[in-house]
Structure 1
Amino acid sequence: MRVGAVIAAAGRPGGFRAYDKLKNTDRNVMLRRMIYTFRHAGVEDVAVVTGYRAKETEKSLAKLGAVFLRCADYENVQMLDLAVKGFQYLKNCGKFFFCPADVPLFTENTLKLMLLQDTQVVIPVCDGRKGHPVLINAGLTDGIAGYQGNRGLKGAIDASGAEICFLSVDDEGVLVRARSEDNFEKLAATEKKTAIHPKVKLQIMRNEAFFGPGMMVLLKQIDMLGNVREACEKAGMSYSKGWSLIRTAEQELGCPVVERSPGGKSGGIAQVSDTGHILMEKYERLEREVAEFTEKKFREIF
């Protein structure tokens, strides 16, 4: 089952502005940490809902393979709205993690333990307190989106009648928020330092590299949106850069990767070709197996 993650970094509802009060912490470094933690746990699709300082955030994280969902009205929405925005976008996933951006210190092991649970909702609990991220089955999305109460995401989950697993974990990071009263900066720099991992950038080439992480993200967005211009925006790259990647891939392969029909300011309708879908599937499998092998050899050597 494909697993996604939604990070609420839009502003007040996601706690993103909390980082303004911390002297020694870069909010985008914390977001980068969250994305990598999700990736190392096997999460394939990460959506970051942005709003406050959105352009800065998207530019900083553009090369990490995450999708950006801009929330222009972030001052007036609730956490539930951010969650639904992400869930509906990642429609190809069977499960979603959801986490506000101000809770970045959870561990990879906690995520893996949560994924082992066979229930519709998994909530981590440390020292008797419920934390983040929350893991939600995609089958609950419509019910959560239709919730009319005033208790936010928690109320929507309760109203769904879903079976909930309160998973006890030895991970204080599921509780600690980005605020000075939680001793956040000290914990992030000492007890909760990020684990060291190898990072391999996988590219496929013939005469030149034509398929890699950037192309993979772009094709995913085209597949969902049907528009190259919008896909480039969501992938955090310029329109010209996106077309350059597509043309290079098609030149090296000798066949279309993206099928398109011209039209207007939006750039017309586009869809990933059959060849493109096969390439995406095989690249993703190769990337996953290379990452697993690299992690294994890293542990042996280091």
Structure 2
Amino acid sequence: MKTGAVVAVAGLSLRMKSFKPMLQLAGSTVIKTAVSTLKSAGVSPVVVVTGNNAEQLTKHLANLDVVCIYNENFATTDMYYSASMGLRYIQDKTDRVFFLPADVPLFSRQSLFTMMGYMDCSNCRILTPEHNGKGGHPLLIDSSVIPQLLSYRGEEGLRGAVEAFTGLKETIELPDIGMTIDADKPEHYELLQQYAKSITLREPITCSVKISLNRKAMFFDSSVAELLQQVSQTASLNEACSNLGISYSNAWKIIKIAEGQMGFPLLHSQTGGVHGGGSSLTEEGQALLDTYIQLRQEVEHFTELNFHKVFNRFQKATGEK
């Protein structure tokens, strides 16, 4: 099932007295933390309903591939109005939708997977998460019920619309306190920061290395190796480009630069003919690829062994906090 999300960010943040979505949180911001977690669980599209500081927020999210919808009436409308705009936009684009206000950003990726799995196996149309009996966000809403939610005319906003829904609703208890912590007031934001720090310190420190070949400038790295591996597997530079999501012209340029620096061709290319066109690695090209992969594996193995030996005391300190 295709799962999208609507994030309401249009409010004035009057109680917080700061623009909540852009508040710093664990090396990121409140809004980016929420969107990134949704994206990491495969949720798409993510629709962000903006209002206050819309231009700044849209630029801030530009590299996260979200859909921004502007609520021009944000100063005089409530969250239900913004939620309705987002739900109306997304209802025919997904099978179900996560909904959340942007000031509840610390729900976990695992909680999203658990909620989606639960809805897959049940007949519920609205699923609300809880932690120790306290309701949280995001809600998970089957897209088929969105029209009924949008028809609500009471005064209790989205909560009232959900309560008035006559279909099957369920709650799910999750071991994720992050679903219940918001940044509504300064004291809440302080708690949010403390919790963000605590869950960050639970994650182990890891190390990664990148191996590149250079001759005045870099001409061969893991991306070039991946391109050559794809050509070897598919016998087609065009198909390799398609699999990797890069343009044919850019791939050809990358290969020509590497060939110029190494002094030998990397590819055999054949066009048309009885047996059709295609590409394959030259003997030297295959040898270069194999040698690069061997070097990378040896360096990664060496780094892994020595990283744990050198950084062991920091890993222990992290686990104890």
TM-score by length of 1: 0.62
Residue 167 (structure 1) aligned with residue 209 (structure 2): no
Unpaired runs of at least 5, structure 2: 209-222, 224-243, 252-303, 308-321
Aligned to 2:250: 208
Say yes or no: does 1:86 pair with 2:73.
no
Amino acid at match of 1:92: K
Deviation (angstroms), 1:77: 1.3
1:191 partnered with 2:199: yes
Question: Aligned equivalents of 2:24 and 2:33: distance in 1?
Answer: 11
Do 1:121 and 1:134's aligned partners in 2 also have CA atoms closer than 8 Å? Answer: yes
- Identify which of 11, 16, 23 aligns with 1:18: 16
State the 1:144 CA deviation: 1.0
CA contact (8 A) 1:176 1:184 kept: yes
Distance across 2 between alignment mates of 1:189 and 1:79: 29
| Superposition deviation, residue 64 in structure 1 | 0.7
Residue 44 of structure 1 and its aligned partner are, at CA, apart by 1.7
In structure 1, distance between residues paired with 2:114 and 2:18? 32
Query: Secondary structure, in 3 states, of the residue corresponding to 2:170?
Result: strand
* Aligned-residue offset at 1:89: 1.1
Q: Per the alignment, in what secondary structure is the counterpart of residue 199 of structure 2?
A: coil
Pairs aligned (count): 206
Q: Distance in 1 between matches of 2:146 and 2:63?
A: 29
Q: Structure 1: where are the runs of 5+ without partners?
A: 210-300
Give the whole-Å Cα distance in 1 for the aligned partners of 2:202 and 2:47. 21
Which residue is 2:58 aligned to? Answer: 58
Pick from 127, 130, 142: which aligns with 2:132? 127
The equivalent of 1:297 in structure 2 is none
Measured at CA, do residues 192 and 140 of structure 1 come closer, stay the same or move farther in structure 2, by a change above 3 Å?
A: farther
Contact 2:4 2:45 in 1 (8 A): yes
Q: Which one has the largest radius of gyration?
A: 2
Native 8 Å contact 2:16 2:186 kept in 1? no
2:105 is aligned to: 104
Give distance in 1, aligned partners of 2:17 and 2:88: 27
8 A contact 2:11–2:78 mirrored in 1 = no
Alignment partners' CA distance in 2, 1:16 and 1:116: 37
Whether 1:156 and 2:161 are equivalent positions in the alignment is yes
Distance 1:194 1:86 in 2: 35
Q: Compute the displacement of 1:208 (Å).
A: 3.2
Cα distance change on mapping 1:192 and 1:82 into 2, 3 Å: farther
Q: 2:29: which partner in 1?
A: 29
* Correspondence for 2:71: 71
Q: Tell me, in whole angstroms, the C-alpha distance in 1 between the residues paired with 2:115 and 2:172.
A: 7
Structure 1 moving runs of 4+ over 6 Å: 193-198
Alignment of 1:270-281 (within 5 A): none
Percent sequence identity is 30
Query: How far 1:162 sits from its partner (Å)?
Result: 2.2
Aligned to 1:138: 143
Offset at 1:169?
A: 0.5
**Residue by residue, what CA displacement relative to the aligned partner does 1:65-92 show, whole Å, maximum 9, x if unpaired?**
0000011111111221111111111121
Distance, in Å, in 2 between the alignment partners of 1:17 and 1:35 is: 23
Contact 2:10 2:79 in 1 (8 A): no
Alignment check: 8 A CA contact 1:11 1:17 kept: no
C-alpha distance in 2 between matches for 1:147 and 1:21: 29
CA offsets, 1:22-55, max 9 Å, x none? 8x94377221111111111121210011111111
**In structure 2, distance between residues paired with 1:194 and 1:3:** 29
| Alpha-carbon distance in 1 for matches of 2:102, 2:73 | 17
Q: The residue matched to 1:20 in structure 2 has which SS?
A: coil
Shift of 1:155: 1.2
Contact 1:4–1:95, Cα closer than 8 Å, also in 2: yes
Write the deviation string for residues 168-221 of structure 1: whole angstroms up to 9, x where unpaired: 0011101101133231222122236796999x9x63311138xxxxxxxxxxxx
Letter in 1 for 2:112: L
Aligned residues of 2:11 and 2:79 also touching (Cα < 8 A): no
1:147 aligns with 2:152: yes
Distance 2:166 2:143 in 1: 14
Q: 2:187 aligns with which of 171, 181, 187?
A: 181
* Closer, same or farther: CA 63–194 of 1 in aligned 2, 3 Å: farther
